[in-house]
Amino acid sequence: MTGIRAKARLETTTEIKRLAREQIASKGAANLSLREIAREMGVASSALYRYFASRDQLLTVLIIESYDDIGGMVERADANCSRDDLVGRWRAVSQSLRTWAITNPSDYGLIFGTPVPGYEAPTDTIAPALRYTNVLLHLLADAQAAGCKPLITVPTTKGVSREYKRVRANLEIKLTDEMILAGLAAWAALFGAISFELFGHVDTVFTDPEAHFRALTDMLGTQMLGMK
């Protein structure tokens, strides 16, 4: 395997993925057609199977790349802020998420939308999927270290404490129950709002969804980061 073939292979692979993304964007993931990709590339459809074992595998690769893309985006947005500007970091992170989602709606749907039936996310997707989550977790940890406390707290039941204990163990970050709850709430609201906007559940109501999104995330930030 000298350079020539390897290079050609890489080029063909990326070209396939590029055309696949194009198709997904214009006609949706469900209508992704390998034959059409082949047609556009002026090649026999069977040739594509030298590069991807199946349609599903192609989709998986695209999903992993999307996870990495969004992860990098969020990491960069966070890194651009001064470490102790927690509110600013939260704003940057949430804004970058929404921006990415709007710029790549089909990729967002691929990740956060209805799972493809019978499609079991391979373990390869787990690590990339955690990248953006880790950014928020570190933000929460830093907030806690800085003495932030969520504004609203509710009495936690035994069951919840047990669950959050498990979360703590999984994450190796020792957040308080209140912080975990606040973080998960903000997380859910964030993706709920983005999904609503993207999947067309609010488009008849808002003309400027970004304004609302800013107000929403500001509120979430206030709740989550509380008084320092």
Partner DNA sequence: GCACTTACGAGAGCAGTGCTCACATTACAG
Partner DNA sequence: CTGTAATGTGAGCACTGCTCTCGTAAGTGC
Structure tokens at 197: 């906007």
Under 8 Å between Cβ of 111 and 70? yes
Binding-site member from 4, 145, 205, 227 for a copy of itself (CB under 8 A): 205
Q: How far apart are CA 210 and CA 196, in angstroms?
A: 13
Tell me whether residue 8 or residue 219 sits nearer to DNA (CB atom).
Answer: 8
Binding-site member from 15, 17, 40, 56 for DNA (CB under 7 A): 56
43 interacts with, out of a copy of itself, DNA, none, CB within 5 to 8 A per kind: DNA
Binding-site member from 81, 87, 102, 167 for a copy of itself (CB under 8 A): 167
Tell me whether residue 31 or residue 161 sits nearer to DNA (CB atom).
Answer: 31
Does 116 bind DNA (CB under 7 A)? Our answer is no
Q: How far apart are CA 96 and CA 71, in angstroms?
A: 10
Shortest spacing between CB 142 and a copy of itself, in angstroms: 21
Q: Which stretch binds a copy of itself (CB under 8 A): 2-10, 40-48, 81-89, 196-204?
A: 196-204
Under 8 Å between Cβ of 103 and 198? no
Does 33 bind DNA (CB under 7 A)? Our answer is yes
Q: How far apart are CA 133 and CA 51, in angstroms?
A: 31
Binding-site member from 2, 82, 200, 227 for a copy of itself (CB under 8 A): 200
Q: How far apart are CA 37 and CA 116, in angstroms?
A: 20
Q: What is the DSSP string of 36-96?
A: HHHHHHTS-GGGGGGT-SSHHHHHHHHHHHHHHHHHHHHHHHHHTS-TT-HHHHHHHHHHH
Does 228 bind a copy of itself (CB under 8 A)? Our answer is no
Does 34 bind DNA (CB under 7 A)? Our answer is yes
Amino acid residing at 88:
G
SS3 for 98? Answer: helix
Q: How far apart are CA 216 and CA 30, in angstroms?
A: 32
Q: What is the DSSP string of 28-39?
A: -GGG--HHHHHH
Binding-site member from 6, 152, 174, 228 for a copy of itself (CB under 8 A): 152
Interface residues toward DNA, by CB under 7 A: 1-5, 8-9, 12, 32-36, 42-47, 49-51, 53-56
Interface residues toward a copy of itself, by CB under 8 A: 26-31, 109-110, 112-118, 121, 126, 129, 151-154, 156-157, 159-160, 162-164, 166-167, 170, 181-182, 184-185, 187-193, 195-196, 199-201, 204-208, 211-212, 214-216, 218-220, 222-223
